[in-house]
Structure 1
Amino acid sequence: MSWFLYVLECRGGSLYTGISRNVAQRFAAHQAGKGARYTRMHPPERVVLSMVFANKPAALRAEHALKSMSTMTKRAFVQKHGVLQCASPPDAGMTESADSD
């Protein structure tokens, strides 16, 4: 089963990066306060990037690489690759409701 790297834009403009098998479900958990501690303090507003990977190790490597980037570099990466440009079709982990405002 595929894994996804996702980036959330949080209240105040900060970015949160994570991995999941289902981005929409994980986004909903973050919004409900059941995600990471960071997103409980900085509620996510939208998914700004979703990329599909063949397996968890590949997604973890990508997550580590993205988290290692400077904020400016990470924002440029997100802007270049967009939310659905790199993602699989909506039924593979990203639903339309997850990327709506």
Structure 2
Amino acid sequence: MKGEGAKYTRSHIPEKILFKKQFDTKHDALSAEYAFKQLTRAQKIAHLAREGINLE
């Protein structure tokens, strides 16, 4: 059965998790995610660099 998943799953390669952070509440986590998604690509890269994540 390997390789027989849904069409969407088969066509989208898994992403790599670069950063993970734990929050006290779901609300805090969703707020942080929304704020991060509002940043430009350059701002996101700068944020990850401040957290010690090297994308290269």
CA RMSD of aligned residues (A): 1.7
Would the alpha carbon gap of residues 82 and 48 (structure 1) be closer, same or farther in structure 2, given more than 3 Å must change?
farther
Find the partner of 1:65 among 11, 28, 35. 35
Amino acid of the residue matched to residue 53 of structure 1?
F
| Contact kept? 1:49, 1:82, Cα under 8 Å | no
**Bigger Cα Rg:** 2
Misfit runs of 4+, over 6 Å: none
TM-score, with structure 2 as normaliser: 0.64
The structure that is strand-richer by fraction is 1
What's 2:14 paired with? 43
Q: Using the alignment, how far apart are the partners of 1:70 and 1:58 within structure 2?
A: 21
Amino acid of the residue matched to residue 57 of structure 1?
H
Bigger relative contact order (CA 8 A; separation at least 6):
1
Q: Deviations over 1:27-67 (max 9, x none)?
A: xxxxxx3xxxxxx2x531x2211111001000000000000
TM-score, with structure 1 as normaliser: 0.38
What's 1:76 paired with? 46
Deviation at 1:82, TM superposition (A): 3.6
Identity, % of aligned positions: 28
| Contact kept? 1:53, 1:59, Cα under 8 Å | yes
Aligned length: 43
Please list, as runs of the form range in 1=range in 2, the aligned pairs for 1:85-96 lying within 5 A after superposition: none
